[in-house]
């Protein structure tokens, strides 16, 4: 993986802005502000992983209690990621938001989450060396 240059940061911030634009558009066009929950979900999604990786002792392979809390964090992260896709679908199925708004908020949320993940990977790669 190449190191994070200036172009990478510019491209990531552009994609992040595009994602926020799509989510806010899906709210404001229909004046129903439920899809904003998607942003909160995707911002919260890496938090369990982060907390549990600080709690655990990954060198402790014999007792494997360190791996258990890491798995708990991964489980919660997987839960939150799928929640970001499932929440607009649930809202659209019951007619609370329009179908187009659901599609826009899902695409925007995935762009936001992809930005967060790739930014974190670039950052972690710098930190290791």
Partner 1 sequence: MSSEERLFRFSKPAWLSSVQARNAGVYLAGGLFSLAFYILLDSAVWSASPRNASPLHVNFVDWLPFVFSSLGMLIINSVEKSRLASDSFSYSGSGVAWKARVVLFLGFAALAGGMAGGVTVFVLKFVVPGVGMPALGMGVENVVANALVGVSTVVLWVSQNMEDEYAYNLAL
Shortest Cβ 71–partner 1 spacing (Å): 5
Q: How many CA atoms lie within 13 A of 114 on its CB side?
A: 16
Q: At what angle do helices 47-55 and 65-93 cross, to 10 degrees?
A: 170
Q: Is 87 in the site for partner 1 (CB under 8 A)?
A: yes
| Planar angle of CA 12, 2, 13, nearest 5 degrees | 5
Q: Which residues, including other chains, have CB under 8 Å from residue 65's CB and lie 6 or more apart?
A: none
Q: Which residue stretch of 4-12, 23-31, 87-95, 99-107 sits at the interface with partner 1 (rule: CB under 8 A)?
A: 87-95
Q: Which residue stretch of 5-13, 31-39, 93-101, 104-112 sits at the interface with partner 1 (rule: CB under 8 A)?
A: 93-101
Q: Is 71 in the site for partner 1 (CB under 8 A)?
A: yes
Q: Binding residue for partner 1 (CB under 8 A) from 9, 57, 78, 125?
A: 78
CA dihedral angle for residue 82, residue 85, residue 90, residue 91, rounded to 10 degrees = 140
Q: Which residue stretch of 6-14, 17-25, 68-76, 117-125 sits at the interface with partner 1 (rule: CB under 8 A)?
A: 68-76
Task: Note the residues at the interface with partner 1 (CB under 8 A).
Answer: 61-62, 64, 67, 71, 74-83, 86-87, 89-91, 93-96
């Amino acid at each position: 993986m190449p190191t994070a240059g200036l172009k990478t940061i510019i491209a990531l911030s552009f994609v992040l802005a595009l994602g926020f634009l799509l989510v806010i558009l899906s709210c404001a066009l229909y004046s129903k502000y439920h899809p904003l929950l998607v942003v909160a979900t995707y911002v919260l999604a890496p938090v369990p992983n982060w907390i549990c990786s600080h709690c655990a002792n990954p060198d402790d392979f014999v007792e494997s209690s360190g791996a258990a809390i890491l798995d708990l964090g991964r489980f919660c992260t997987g839960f939150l990621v799928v929640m970001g896709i499932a929440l607009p679908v649930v809202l659209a199925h019951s007619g609370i938001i329009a179908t187009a708004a659901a599609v826009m908020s899902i695409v925007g949320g995935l762009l936001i989450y992809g930005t967060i993940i790739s930014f974190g990977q670039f950052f972690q790669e710098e930190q290791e060396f």
